[in-house]
Amino acid sequence: MTLRPKPPQHLFIPGPTDVRPEVLEAQTAPMIGHRTAEFEALFAKCEEQLQSLFFTDSRVYILASSGSGLQEAAIRNAVGGRVINFIAGAFGKRWHQVSAGCGKEAIPVNIEWNTAVKPEQVAAALEEALKDGPVDAITVVHNETSTGVTSPVGEIAETVRAISPETLVLVDAVSSFSGVKIPVDEWGLDLCLTASQKALAVPPGLAFCAVSDRLLARAESVEGRGWYFDFLNLEKYLQRSTTPATPALSLIRALSVQLDIIFEEGPENRFARHQRLAERTRQWATDNGFALMAEEGYRSPTVTHVANSRNIDILALNAFLGERGMTISNGYGEFKGKSMRIAHMGEVNDEDMERLFAAMEAYLA
C-alpha cells in the first residue's frame, strides 16, 4: 500500500481521533449484500488482523456499536449473579451503572481518581465479596480516559485467578487498544473490549471484543443475554465469517484499510510511537510549569492528564487553538477548568505534537 501524506492532526482529544483520508474514502464504496462471499472475505480479513492486534488465538466479535454497548454485552454474557466493578474514573463508573442497569448484583469498589486499580485492592475486595458467595466477574478499565491512568490489568487478572479461578476478568481497553500492547491470551483476560474511534483511528460506530473460551462456556448458563449482543449467537455467525444482523458495511471497509495501515507501520512501532509521544507530552507539561495529575508509574500512553497549575483559562486556550485548527480536552466532570487532557493517540505523530506545543506556548506567552 502507498500511503498518502497525512493531513496535520486536528483533534488532540481522547476520541474521536482524526482519520486518514484513505480510511474516510473507503466508506464511499458502493454497498454489497452482507450475505455474499465478498463480504465474508472482508470480514474474515478484519477478524484475523484484529485477533493479531489483541494477541489472541480465540475470537474477536465485531459489532455495530460504540464501546458502551460492549460494556453491556460483557455483563449480559458473563454475569448471572454478582459482579464487582472497580471504579477509578468516569468509565469504571459507567460500567457499574451498566451492570446495575442489566439487573445484576453489582458491587462498586471506589478507588481514588487519578490513581490506578492495584492488584492488592482487587484481592481485598474480591476476598470480602467471596464471603457472601461466588463472584461471576470483575470489571476494570485498562486506560481510564477521564484521568489518564493505566491500570495493570495483567497483574490484576493473575491475582483474580489465584483467589477465585471461576471469576472472569472483563477489561475495557476503549482508549488504549492499538496504542499499547495488550496481550489478551498471555494476560488471561476473559474479555477485552474496545471501540473504533480512539487509538484505532477509524470513525465511531464499531466496537470489538476479544472473548475467551471460558467466557463463552459461562454464557451458556447465563439467562437474559438478549439477542443483539448474545455471544453464542455471534459465535455461530462468526464461524461463517459474518454477523447475525446487518453489519456496518462502510465502517468495516474503513476498518479494513486502517488495519492495513496499522500493520504497515507495525504494531510494535505503533506502541513505541504512542509511548514516545506520551513521554514528550509529560515533559512538555512539566517544563512549562504544569504538574501531572495521574499517579506516577501508571501514566497513560495515549492521553496525558495535566493539572492546571498555572490557573489558565482552558476555554480561552482551546478557542486560541481552535483558530489554529487544533483542539484539546478540558478536565472531565469535576476536573473541568482544573485540568486538561491532551490525547496523543491514533495517527498523531511527533510533528503534530510539536505544532500543538508551539501553539500552546504562544498562548501562554
List residues near ligand PLP by CB under 6 A: 15, 66-68, 91, 141, 145, 172, 174-175, 195
Q: How far apart are CA 159 and CA 123, in angstroms?
A: 7
Query: Toward ligand PLP, which CB reaches closer, 129 or 173?
Result: 173
CB of 195 to ligand PLP, least distance (A): 4
CB of 321 to ligand PLP, least distance (A): 20
Query: Toward ligand PLP, which CB reaches closer, 54 or 91?
Result: 91
Query: Toward ligand PLP, which CB reaches closer, 196 or 242?
Result: 196
CA 362 to chain centroid: 32
Residue closest to ligand PLP when measured from CB atoms: 67
Say which DSSP state 206 is in: E
Answer for the pair 361, 215: CB distance below 8 angstroms, yes or no.
Answer: no
CB of 94 to ligand PLP, least distance (A): 6
CB of 228 to ligand PLP, least distance (A): 15
Say which DSSP state 205 is in: S
Q: How far apart are CA 278 and CA 261, in angstroms?
A: 21
Q: How far apart are CA 335 and CA 323, in angstroms?
A: 24
Query: Toward ligand PLP, which CB reaches closer, 18 or 172?
Result: 172
Q: Which long-range contacts (CB under 8 A, 24 or more apart) does 333-339 make?
A: 333/90, 333/146, 335/146, 335/293, 335/305, 337/308, 338/307, 338/308, 339/293, 339/305, 339/306, 339/307, 339/308
Query: Toward ligand PLP, which CB reaches closer, 39 or 335?
Result: 335
CB of 120 to ligand PLP, least distance (A): 22
Residue 164: what are its φ and ψ, rounded to 5°?
A: -145, 85
CB of 59 to ligand PLP, least distance (A): 21
CB of 32 to ligand PLP, least distance (A): 26
Question: Which residue has cell 472475505?
Answer: 41
Query: Toward ligand PLP, which CB reaches closer, 95 or 357?
Result: 95
Query: Toward ligand PLP, which CB reaches closer, 176 or 242?
Result: 176
- For 6-54, the DSSP string reads PPPP-EESSSS----HHHHHHTTSPP--SSSHHHHHHHHHHHHHHHHHT
Answer for the pair 258, 264: CB distance below 8 angstroms, yes or no.
Answer: no
Answer for the pair 363, 320: CB distance below 8 angstroms, yes or no.
Answer: yes
